[in-house]
Structure 1
Amino acid sequence: MSADRRLAGPLRLLSRRKRVDSGWSREPSAAKLQKALNEEVSHGHAFLFIPVLIGGGAAVWFALPRDPPAFLVFTLLPLSLLALSVASPLGRIRSFLLSFSLLLIGAAAAEVETWRRATVILDSPVTTSVVGEVHRREPAGEGRWRYFIRVNATERPILKRPPEDVVLLARAKHRPFEAGDVLRGRARLSPPSGPALPGLNDFAFRSYYDGIGAVGFFYGAPQPAGTRKADERDWSERLSQRIFELRGTIADRIRATVAGDAGAFAAAIVTDERRAISEETTEALRISGLAHIVAISGLNMALAAGIFFIGLRSGLGLFTGFAQAWPIKKIAAVGALLMATVYYLISGFAVSAERAYLMMAVMLIAVLVDRAAISLRNVAISAIVILLVSPSEVMGPSFQMSFAATAALIAGYAFWSRRQSHREPHPFPTGHGRLAPFLTVWHLMAGIFATSLIGGLSTAIYSMDHFHRLSGYGLVANLAVMPIISFLVMPAGLVGMLLMPFGLDAPFLKLMGAGLEAVIHVAKAVSSWGGDVGVGRQHPWFLPVASVGLLLLTLLRTKLRLLGIPLIATAFLLSWQAQRAPLPDILVADDGTLVATLQPSPATNRTRPPGFVFDQWRRALLLTDPRKPVVSPGEDIAPKGVGEGGLSATGKEKDGGAFDDEQRHRHRAAMRQAFAAAGADAGRFQCLPKAWCVAVTDEGVAIAVVEDGRIAGIACDLAVLVVAPRAPFDQCRSGARLISGATLRRAGSLEISLNGSRDSHQWTIVAAMAGIDRPWSRHRLFDWRTGEFEAPVPSSRGEADQW
């Protein structure tokens, strides 16, 4: 036998062994997949997907345009659970039934929460006199207060469908009302805002589940109207009032001890009263990526509970005999849990604080039962509790960002620990001695860097989808301030709160304020660099696809987690595709008072467009500063010869009554003259104050925005598109497309693409609320004159031509 033949066998065996050792084998893909799934199950990672499926079921339920049949959910759920109980313990059928049951549980929880809330939302803006009891109050700037009021009665007019709870701003100087006081005042009430553009945030959704039926402000200072007797309230209401009184007292003391924005910042960290912080500082915190510090979230709760836990355990450890006889770790966990509970109570039951508290409670209870405190299982348990109690939270950015950051940080720490455990220890020769302090600082800064990087990347997709922006220098800002927050602000604040009952809190609160003053300086410095990167409105599938990818990356430990990478890449491809979509030609706000043309550049009919609406337009569509309208007094824009009784400088008839033929003729001539001027400057509005604005697009489409309803008929004769919220009719006899107040109320904000045509039947009109009939949007369909609900605006383009 030759030498080559003698070596052939060993060489083949060695080659096969090398291929197996390198991870390559001829094992079928299905077998590999099953092996990986079995490994995930053996490590308990299947449990982590329970809240994912429950949240997914709730999210689908909330995203539907109409209420799904409740009997269908509550019929399918028992059937699914019954089939699950008789299915074989192993197999794909059982896995499918379990997943389907969890989805139905999420949908059922959403149905129950919606039924339990049943918030009455105001149908349309109104000015009325409100009599109600103050639930709580929040400072809203110097001398201003926001009151959360339970409405007892309305007067002049009496509302047919009054909201039960409202939030009203009192700007006039007055003695602040306490919780439990009954007040009276003339107020402007408005329903919560709908989406500023199709696909953007519907503020009415959050208001519905917060129990807020209207928002507004008082005309002048509210007046006292008596005090509700204590025996008329049950124990829970009295306890809630006492807690809010304590919260207000603590916040007032902090702001009195620490002046300026630093004091307001400190009060926000402790009690979650954020509105006392100036707009300048709030904007700087937002642009620099430090706004998360203001909210009582997982960071604040973890630092407070962790500092208390470590401090109490270290203090008890000084007593050797006691430490040997008693489990000081568990005693410290109980103390930290009590402290976290108090922190949650004085936070005013904020939603972010609720999530943080539940997560911290699960972790501390895990210490009591000798389980790992920091684990993805504990995060999953916290998410399950929140989703079953308040499933609507799954739709909000706060829930999504907090759990994404927490899961990513724990998964990153677990991945790093596994890698380190497989490495042989190689002691660093200079790890001791003089370099030890520097190495400690290096490890600390490296940990802060890794934490900030993982947290920032994991929440980026949610910032892109909900806020349409990214903070370019957020990592730098967080690296600069996190040592201040962790080692100065939170310890000083914790000690100050513990000493406040004894009147010894002032030095520590001032130290806390000094640290926050440094944080504010860092925020302003970083925000001055810019870095507020706009990414625009995302594709409807961007968030679901990216979220699934992130969940796979964080919740799995085998190579299956790598499946999340192509999903995230697909999501960013969808984002790129959304950015390439053409802009609409015309935008109309849901109340019709703000209209913008976007070609050749943005222009609005308001000299100072409402920031709340236009800022959302700017971020979603990446718009530049708008061109201001050309505003002319009546005598300049009207033709010569207009005498007494003509147009006044405010654009209204001097006699204030109905138009006669001569007056209509003068308005028609003035509007024609304005259209002629608008044609020379495409897209820019020519306006007569308090009356109308006109513009002409590149396609030659004449637009009229009418504020005085008496001019709507004239505008219909001269324009192709008329936006008239106060028009006394719903259609133009001339054939012009009329967008009336009734239409806007049902349809919400509009995006209009002219498609290069002057024929309105060729336009594409996208309405924010088209085809939507859900409990949080149903107030739009209520007609207070008839007391009945109308049908929603059709969603299809063919039906939309019938508006």
Structure 2
Amino acid sequence: MQAILSGALLAQRGSLICWVPVALALGIGGYFALLSEPGGAAFVALAGLAVVVVLAARWIALPVRPLWLALALIASGAVLAKIETQVAADPVLGFRYYGPIEGRLVHIDRSASEAVRLTLDRVRLDRVAPDRTPGRVRVSLHGDQPGAPFLPGQTLILTGHLSPPAGPAEPGGFDFRRHAWFQGLGAIGYTQTPVLSLAAPTGDWRLWVFDTRMAISAAIQARLPGDAGGFAAAIAIGDRSGMSVESQEALRASNLYHIVSISGLHMGMLTGFIFAIVRVGLSLWPAVALRLPVKKIAAVVALAVGAVYLALSGGDVATERSYIMVAVLLIAILLDRQALSLRGLAVAATLVLMLQPHALTGPGFQMSFAATAALIVAFRAMRGRNLGPRWLRPAVALVVSSLVAGLGSAPFAALHFNQISHYGLIANLLAVPVIGAVTMPAMVAAAVLAPLGLAPLALWVAGLGLRWTLWVAATVAGWGGAVSHVPTPDPIVLPLLALVLVWLILWQGRARWLGLPGLAAVALIWSTSPRPAVLIADSGGLIGVMGSDGRALSAPKSDAFIAGVWLENDGTAADQVIAAARRGIVVDGRQATAALGQWRILLVRGKVELAQLQGCAGADILISNEPDAGPRPCRVFDERTLRDTGAVALGLDADGGLVVTSANAVTGMRPWTGAPRARASQPQGLTAVVAASTQSR
């Protein structure tokens, strides 16, 4: 057995570097899967273990040395995740707040409902201690805002509502609290009153970059009105605020939304275009071409241009990941190495995980690396094969790349977004060549010609390609059966799927094909994953009961976001109004009744209705969006209880007994779910003048 293991490990020696990010990911994923936060001593021990293993590696037998190094990398991944969590620590608002808010504007975007959202730092809240004040808050604007447009770095005051970042809409669902933790958001909310300017813009180079981005976005949208201009701003500098909800939904349904997100496509096209222009231009100059390494000079210029683009695009996780991948490819050219390989991809993944371990849990990381790995494997298999006449090869390469990238990322897209685009290949074949051949070169030309005042002509050309892409998206999305929806599987499916695919791609030898039964097992688990029979919103104002025709909801409008998440996770595209009309829940005014086996469920909304309720009115389970004084002869999920448990799922065991699963029990007690943490230095509290001036508006 030892000889077999040693032989199998020795066979991997040529590709061991590709397993480095896998081992890091195991440690990072293990850390985020914990239900409680280990003490610092545990991570000191892990770090010590990693150091000892690395130092002692030379004395470990060569055949099994990779296993010990993998153990060190797994420990390092957990330590890196812990360090990032501690660095991101900031106070999280622990209650619902209404009153004056002061802060410096550091970001502007739009919500899914197209409301403008302002992200503020240097926050000050009335009568909130500095050590309990979030470092950043995000506020959605409603109503008339005569003070808009707002300037980056501007100190603003307003009166608004703030709440802690919301937990999962259901047990095991997406935890926005963790996402907000690493975004530095300690509270989110809204205002219906005008936002006022308190002080002129101030800030560092990051705000200057943000200001430049907004200026570029405004200039682009002034020249290209409508969705085309918003689309252009999105692919140019990452500002999606000018795009309508309808156009974004069409792009998603046609599997073209990856064009909006500044990722490998944009970074690759831009740096590739710059690389080609510089290389060709210098090659036409004999005195330079014969004396200097033209190819390497072009790589350096493309690397620098990519860095500028990274800064101007906002530098989010997807863009940083794309730049690292492009940088690895360009540096490979400088070192006379093969530019596109699994080793280069492994280096890029390692750097991303070291810099931002939490990126592992996001769909962007998973989808982009899956698509890129699939492309590398596919084109490596096609190397040396006859792909037809030379004039036909670019078209074949385009079809293959679109098909392979789509298949590589499709499982992760289905896992995270519960939908599969059936005509995505057609849409990509029609749109991506136009984006690459027309839109991106025209956008680059517009940037080069802007100082000469000739940008409008280039933007007009870019607009042609963008309008074509939007038309393709709308047309394909309108075809019958363009999108199908899939239910959210058991949480174990995602890590199992990733590990099986990694095994199939990286392992050398016959054992690689053991991944095929693994894929079959993943598909079986996915297809048989049950959905919760009853879901209770953490507000206590909505329940959903699974029936033969889908999930029935207790209200057609309340808790609309949570209702939408439930229905998406069920794998349906039903509207909340339609779901509220389904059988399974009987609504009578502000009360709703349902049954789960022999268990009767009663939902009561409103303080008066709850106070007038006699006992539990014959119900076994009482749900309310108000705090209940009690006691009552049934199990109660009131506003106070649900605040502690989060959303709740109800089911039955084999004997018909009630099974209760709460969201907070699944997520556990982690820094992003527990008590707020204090910062080292805090701004002073709001002055009476600021509070009074804000409230007066």
Larger radius of gyration: 1
Shift of 1:746: 1.9
Rate the CA distance shift 1:38–1:566 in 2: closer, same or farther, 3 A. same
CA contact (8 A) 2:90 2:676 kept: no
Partner in structure 1 of residue 673 of structure 2 = 777
**In structure 2, distance between residues paired with 1:408 and 1:682:** 45
What amino acid is the match of 1:774? R
RMSD of aligned C-alpha atoms?
2.8
What amino acid is the match of 1:187? G
**In structure 2, distance between residues paired with 1:366 and 1:153:** 48
Rate the CA distance shift 1:323–1:225 in 2: closer, same or farther, 3 A. same
Shift of 1:700: 6.7
3-state SS of 2:329 partner: helix
2:520 is the alignment partner of 1:569: yes
Q: Which moved more, 1:149-158 or 1:770-779?
A: 149-158
Partner in structure 1 of residue 604 of structure 2 = 706
3-state SS of 2:340 partner: coil
How many residues get paired? Answer: 670
1:61 to 31, 36, 45: 31
| Aligned 1:659-738 pairs, distance under 5 A | 683-688=584-589, 692-697=590-595, 699=597, 701-715=599-613, 716-718=615-617, 719-729=619-629, 732-738=630-636
2:500 to 541, 544, 549: 549
Partner in structure 2 of residue 673 of structure 1 = none
Shift of 1:316: 1.3
**Structure 2 unpaired stretches of 5+:** 679-697
CA contact (8 A) 2:271 2:303 kept: yes
Shift of 1:456: 1.3
Rate the CA distance shift 1:629–1:735 in 2: closer, same or farther, 3 A. farther
Partner in structure 1 of residue 695 of structure 2 = none
Shift of 1:728: 4.0
2:139 is the alignment partner of 1:173: no
Which gives a bigger RCO, structure 1 or 2 (Cα 8 Å, sep 6+)?
Answer: 2
What amino acid is the match of 1:117? A
Shift of 1:192: 2.0
2:567 is the alignment partner of 1:618: yes
CA contact (8 A) 1:628 1:684 kept: no
**In structure 1, distance between residues paired with 2:208 and 2:9:** 52
3-state SS of 1:194 partner: coil
Rate the CA distance shift 1:120–1:549 in 2: closer, same or farther, 3 A. same
Shift of 1:295: 0.4
Shift of 1:713: 4.2
2:425 to 475, 483, 494: 475
Shift of 1:415: 2.4
Partner in structure 1 of residue 541 of structure 2 = 593
Q: Deviations over 1:381-439 (max 9, x none)?
A: 1111111111011111111111111122112222222x64xxxxx898xx5xxxxxxx5
| Aligned 1:380-399 pairs, distance under 5 A | 380-399=346-365
2:78 to 78, 89, 107: 107
What amino acid is the match of 2:145? K
Shift of 1:98: 0.8
Shift of 1:244: 0.5
**In structure 2, distance between residues paired with 1:779 and 1:427:** 60
Q: Which moved more, 1:240-249 or 1:716-725?
A: 716-725
Shift of 1:300: 0.8
1:746 to 620, 623, 644: 644
**In structure 1, distance between residues paired with 2:583 and 2:232:** 50
Shift of 1:555: 2.5
2:174 is the alignment partner of 1:225: no
**In structure 1, distance between residues paired with 2:387 and 2:467:** 41
Partner in structure 2 of residue 644 of structure 1 = none
2:172 to 190, 199, 203: 199
Rate the CA distance shift 1:704–1:258 in 2: closer, same or farther, 3 A. same
**In structure 1, distance between residues paired with 2:535 and 2:259:** 35
2:243 to 273, 277, 281: 277
Partner in structure 1 of residue 103 of structure 2 = 132
What amino acid is the match of 1:764? V
2:210 is the alignment partner of 1:241: no
Q: Which moved more, 1:327-336 or 1:137-146?
A: 137-146
Q: Deviations over 1:319-372 (max 9, x none)?
A: 122211111111111111111011100011111000001111121122122222
**In structure 1, distance between residues paired with 2:129 and 2:448:** 49
Percent of residue pairs identical:
31
Partner in structure 2 of residue 643 of structure 1 = none
2:553 is the alignment partner of 1:604: yes
Q: Deviations over 1:150-207 (max 9, x none)?
A: 1432127779822110111223232222111111111121222221122221111111
What amino acid is the match of 1:212? L
**In structure 1, distance between residues paired with 2:631 and 2:647:** 24
Q: Which moved more, 1:622-631 or 1:150-159?
A: 622-631
1:253 to 219, 227, 238: 219
| Aligned 1:361-510 pairs, distance under 5 A | 361-417=327-383, 420=385, 431=389, 439-440=390-391, 442-510=392-460
**In structure 2, distance between residues paired with 1:95 and 1:322:** 47
CA contact (8 A) 2:49 2:72 kept: no
**In structure 1, distance between residues paired with 2:358 and 2:344:** 21
Rate the CA distance shift 1:323–1:611 in 2: closer, same or farther, 3 A. farther
CA contact (8 A) 2:113 2:245 kept: no
Shift of 1:743: 1.8
Shift of 1:777: 1.1
What amino acid is the match of 1:539? D
